[in-house]
Structure formats: C-alpha cells, structure tokens
Structure 1
C-alpha cells in the first residue's frame, strides 16, 4: 500500500498569531513539506486546486513542477483537478509537461469540484455540472492515449487531427477519479475502469466499505477487474498521545470548516463535544497516537483493500514545525509498521 500526503493550501488564521498566512509563505512551505515527505519515504504528494482568496493554489501543476525540481522519487498529483471547468487539451499539456519535468512522476486526480466559484469564473453553467465532467473526462482520456485527435463535443471547439503536444514521458498519465462519497461517482469510475480516489472526511468506515464494494462490483461486471484501484484521502493528525493529537487538531479542524466552507457563507463551528464523538476507532478523521493511526489504517485496509492512503496534515493553518514533526512520527512509528503488515 502506498502512503502519501496532500494539501489544499487553505490560508487559515489559526496557528499564525490570529493572522492569515500569505500565499507566498504557504506555497514555499508546501514545497518544503513535499521535500520532507520524500525524505521520510512517502510515495506521493498532492496539491489541490481552488479559485478563492482563502486558498493559495489555483494552478497545481506550477507548484508541482517546483516540487519536482526539488525532489527525485515521490510521485506528484493534483488533488483534485476541477476538470469540469477546464480545457482538457490544456490540462493534458500541463500535466504532460509536468511529467517531463519530473522524469515520469506526474499523475492526475480529476473531479467535478465541490466549490462553485470555478464555474462562473471560466464561463461554465453549474446546471451542466455532470454533463461537463462526463464530456471533458472522455476527451482527456482520448488525449492521454493519442498524439493526434479528431473530436467533436458540446462544450468545446472541435478538434480535427489536432496535434497534442508535448507527449508525456509515461505512456499515459495515470488518471484517478475523485469521489466525494456519491455512489453515482463511484459507479462512473468503475464503469470506466479508472482508479477511485475516495475522500473520507468523516462518518463510519462501514460506509466507506460499502462504497468500495459497490465500486469493485460494478467495475468487475464491466470487465475492468484488472484496473480497479482505491485510494483513501482524509485528514490526519498524529502526536505521541491520543489527547495531544485531539488537542492539537481541534482548533485547526474547526477553524477550517468555519472559514473555508464551499458555500458563500461561513459554515458552523463544530463543537468540541461533537468533534470528540466523531473520532472513534472505526470512524472520523485519522487522529491519535501512532498506535491508533496504525489501527485505523489497518482497519480501513481490511474493509476496503485500499491501494493508497493519502493524508492531509496541514488543514486549518497547522504550523510548519508541527507538520514536520508529524511527518517524522509517520516515518519512524507508523509507516514501517504499516509496510510490514
């Protein structure tokens, strides 16, 4: 099982003396975190895409290219690319260039997007939410496989024997579908035979198991048994003790949901009592001591057979020093045990 980290680059005010960290600092720290992740032996690092002033990164491939220049082995992915509002030709060109810069380490997680801002920003109608994604996903898959493309669709100008350049170093750029928990999204990925990157942000792990079982059943029925893969993406906070992890995580977690809600207005602040109740051995974010984190990962692997765990450890303005300390704990006390298991 591969283990990695991802960031959404939110600019929370927690952890910075009540002041929101600036985008320049956030991006510099993101590059430094990726370097630490590689040194710790992690397999993959992802960068999210948002188009709001409370997030630092709207162009993940640029940041990933900077990371590529400072690393040599860790794989690099978006988390996610909002394909619904993008031009698939441009997306392919950017990721193919990233693949060349990184010597074949680029991947992409394509999603429909939880936030609505990209749709009016790029001239897309939110009412076409599903149709946009279906068409652009199909076109990207074609571009990924062919250096010359003839194509016609609804939302983009047609292509007539168009040259798609440059070509990636890898035969094709690995493409995952981001799934937020919708059975329809899981089944879409399964029918296409594409790997599923499943966001597990809360709730019981039994629900994750059901969704993964549905994905595998539909994929196998469609004849894609050999290409089905599952990644679990979620929040992680690790400390030497369970209490320390909860005490460290709560201010950042609650502030993130307050400041960075997908809606136009701030979301409610989760109470400490509700936060504590949400974290059990078989539910909620990955929060706890090294032993607890190992148990939660092992349980999810048993339930889902997941191929990857990709965790966010910088949510809500966690200071860089704490992020570095958590990576060290993961490297020394969690990853060796998980790999042995």
Structure 2
C-alpha cells in the first residue's frame, strides 16, 4: 500500500495576522508535537529537512527526529533531506542508527545534494566539487550501511582503515532514499545504485515527472536490483483546512513569504504573485491545497500519475498558526489518508 506522510523544513516566516515570527526554539518544540500527532492519526512517515538559514529552524533534523521517536509507536522518521555532500557519512549513519534504536527500527535517511548551498562554506567544502562530494559520500554511506568494519580510501572524505562503526541500525537493511529535483543524470545514478528515489514535485505538474519515474524503474530493473528496493516517492507543497476557500485564502501569504525569500538568492526564481499562486493550485501546478476531499483527490492523481510507493505532503510551506498546523495534520490523518487508502484498496480488488 501507498505510504502517506509529511515533510517539513520547520519554516519560520512572519505570521499573516500578527506579523510575529516563531523563534527557532519554539518552532523546533512544535515539530515534536507535530510528529506525535502525525503518529497518533495514523500517518506513515514524517520527514524533516536540513537547512542553515534564518527562515528555517532545523539545521540538525536527526535531533528533532530523535525527540519525536520517544513518544511515537508506528510512524517512520526520516531526514528530508540530509545534505550528504557537506556531512561526514560515518557520523550521519551513527546518528540515524541511534534514532533507529530509539524508535525500534523506524528510522531512515533521505540523502540529497542540497538545493540550498549555505552548508558548503559553513563546513569547509568547495562548491566546485558539488557532484563529486555527493557521489563519493553516498558510496561511503552505503559501504557503512552494509559493513560494520569500514575501509575507505577518501578523496573528499576521510580515509579509514578497517575501523568499526557503531551503533549498528536495528533494521538489517537500513533504508537510504535519495532525493532529486528531477534531473535526468540524478535519476540514472540512483536507478543504477538500486536505491529508492524521491522527486520534489513542486513546480511543474506531476505528469512532467512521469518519464523520469518510468526510466528509473526500467534502469533499476535492467541492473538486476530486487523489486522491493525499486521505489518511487514524491514530495509536494500543500495545506488542508475544513473549508476549501478558507484553505486557498490562508495559504497564499505564508507560501509567498517562503517563495519571495528564496527568490532573493536565486535568479531563476521570482516573487510570487496571486496569479502564480492560483496557477500552482490548478491542474497545471503541483501544489495541493483545499478541504480533505479536494486534497485526497489531488493526492490520488499524483500517486496514479507517477505510480508512487510513498507521498509526502510538505505541510506547511511558510508559517501558519501552530493550532492550524495541528488541525491540518489531524485532517490529513483522519480524513484525507482514509479516502486515499480506500480508493487504492478498492482499485486493487477490482
């Protein structure tokens, strides 16, 4: 069955009605409550992304996920993403193996190159080595995952000679997913490695990612990778409220704050207009906003279009009052997820 979950970056942008901004420490505490609620309403996975910017609260998702592991029972806990290029793969594995212990086998790593680059100068890495860093460190992480004693001849990473890496993960085949914005080269590399893939479907309509998802499956199968490892997930921005028009209206401001902040640093982005926003909510866009029935139908559409194994609703993008976020999570787990699951259960029986 399809897994349904939430991804978040712990955004800290001004609230529309008050102009106030949640502090980083307050937002981090909120995230733990959100994980616990997502677990209690039956969602399958919760992911937190790593950033090193003022408008995102979380630079160390593994610590927040560890806190969330303690009082949850079922939900899987993953980074979304860990910026592997600027991390030590040994330390990354140890951190998530520790979460795996705390959660009794519910931790995962989602590795990515990082669409934001603040971590590279912060940790002393050269952006000129952007691709090489990721490829080498991913190979190293997979070696650590599969072998207790590590031997590694590093170019950008350290050289290690037959040293054990502890603790070991509870899960024998510890899950490592790889995220991509939809580049062909990334898709091919991930498929050749036989790793599950996550597409960030946040711009174009889902149908534009279908050739990539189909190519990923074909290449991975041709490489001889087992079917249970060939998995596709997607992450899309979204929001849920009891009323359709209310959801559409209240989500514009926080969404615009985030997009406008990103546009300051990226020449190919522009500040969001209301027209841009409404277009993103249409069938030509990937943003999923509305009441439970509308959101469920749009999630079903993206799952069917890409034949997904897992879907993340990035909730929210930009800051909304925390009580509204908790209500959105409740609606997702209690009303949206059952609609989606029932649809696919009935389709399987037909």
Q: TM-score range by the shorter chain?
A: over 0.9
Once structures 1 and 2 are overlaid, which stretch shifts more, 280-289 or 102-111? Answer: 280-289
Superposition pairs for residues 1-341 of structure 1, below 5 Å? 1-15=2-16, 17-224=18-225, 226=227, 227-261=229-263, 263=265, 268-281=270-283, 283-341=285-343
Deviates more, 1:269-278 or 1:237-246: 237-246
1:242 and 1:184 map into 2 onto residues whose CA distance is 39
Deviates more, 1:129-138 or 1:313-322: 313-322
In structure 2, the CA distance between the partners of 1:266 and 1:256, relative to structure 1 (3 Å rule), is farther
1:237 CA displacement: 1.1
Question: Over residues 114-150 of structure 1, what are the superposed CA-to-partner deviations in whole Å (9 max), with x where a residue is unaligned?
Answer: 1111111111110110000000000000000111011
322-331 vs 24-33, greater mean Cα deviation: 322-331
CA contact (8 A) 2:236 2:287 kept: yes
Cα RMSD after superposing both structures: 1.7
When normalised by structure 1's length, the TM-score is: 0.95
Following the alignment from structure 2 to structure 1, what is the Cα–Cα distance between the partners of residues 162 and 309?
37
Q: Note if contact 1:230-1:308 (Cα within 8 Å) is conserved in structure 2.
A: yes
Deviates more, 1:109-118 or 1:267-276: 267-276
Are 1:281 and 1:295, in contact at CA under 8 Å, matched by a contact in 2?
Answer: no
Partner Cα distance (1:47, 1:100) in 2: 18
CA change 1:28–1:16 in 2 (3 A) is farther
TM score, norm. by length of structure 2: 0.93
The answer on whether the counterparts of 1:255 and 1:316 sit within 8 Å (CA) in structure 2 is yes
- Tell me the CA shift for residue 278 of structure 1: 2.3
SS at 1:215 equivalent: helix
Range 132-141 or range 115-124, more displaced: 115-124
| CA distance in 2: counterparts of 1:16 and 1:110, whole angstroms | 36
- Deviation (angstroms), 1:20: 2.1
2: CA distance, partners of 1:63 / 1:166: 19
User: How far does the alpha carbon of each residue in 1:253-312 deviate from its partner, in whole angstroms, 9 at most, with x for none?
Assistant: 011111245827996321111211222235321112222212211222221110111111
Q: For structure 1, which runs of at least 5 residues remain unmatched after alignment?
A: none
Residues of 2 paired with 1:218 and 1:49: CA distance? 29
Secondary structure at the aligned position of 1:220 is classed as helix
Q: How far apart, CA to CA, are the structure 2 residues paired with 1:15 and 1:174?
A: 39
Q: Residue 128 of structure 1 aligns to a residue in which SS? A: helix
Please tell me whether the aligned partners of residues 180 and 200 of structure 2 are also in contact (alpha carbons under 8 angstroms): yes
CA contact (8 A) 2:260 2:270 kept: yes
Native 8 Å contact 2:14 2:21 kept in 1: yes
Assess, with a 3 A threshold, how the Cα gap between structure 1 residues 330 and 270 changes in structure 2: closer, same or farther. same
Deviation track 1:151-209 (CA, whole Å, cap 9, x = no partner) reads 10201221111111111111132000011111111111111000001111121221021
